[in-house]
Amino acid sequence: MGQLVEFALNNPLLVGALVMALIAAIGNEVRLRGQAGVSVGPQEAVRLINQGGAVVDLRDAPAFAAGHIVDAVNLTAEELSGKAGEKFRKKKALVLVCNTGTTSAKAAKTLRAAGQENAWSLDGGMAAWQKENLPVVAAKTPKANA
């Protein structure tokens, strides 16, 4: 035990780095456990969509217009939890999408607490979807009359 204390006193930067790494690992684990049970990966999301699930994109309108999942509906998290989201409660599954998966995970938890048991967050968001080279459509811009 004395050697451990001596080592720590002689190597404060090394011990500090170890402590910071442990804090980071614990923080990451807590974050992942908070999302556990509400997130699905891109391939599982495809399966849910193919089985009749709906996709709700929670990103802002410009991000949605730049590229979104086919047949996705663009709503804010507030609209989804309000009356606008009522029509999705009848679907088999509801896949929520945001940029990185954080906002959609929170929204999925909120919907599940309200009784929507098939609300899922796309783990990693649109970034993960695009990384898997899954289809994305962009909003059509109106053609100018010549």
pLDDT tens across 55-78, in order? 999 999 999 999 999 999 999 888
Does the domain formed by 38-131 have CATH 3.40.250.10? yes
pTM of the model: 0.70
> Nearest CA to 61 among 76, 81, 80?
76
pLDDT tens across 74-110, in order? 998 888 877 656 777 666 899 999 999 999 999 998 8
Do 143 and 69 touch, CB atoms closer than 8 A? no
CB burial of residue 25 (10 Å; 0-12, 13-18, 19+): exposed
Confidence of residue 13 (pLDDT cuts 50, 70, 90): very high
Question: Which residues carry out catalysis?
Answer: 98
**One-letter-per-residue 3-state SS of 4-66:** HHHHHHHCHHHHHHHHHHHHHHHHHHHHHHHHCCCEECHHHHHHHHHCCCEEEECCCHHHHHH
- Residue 142: strand pairing partners: none
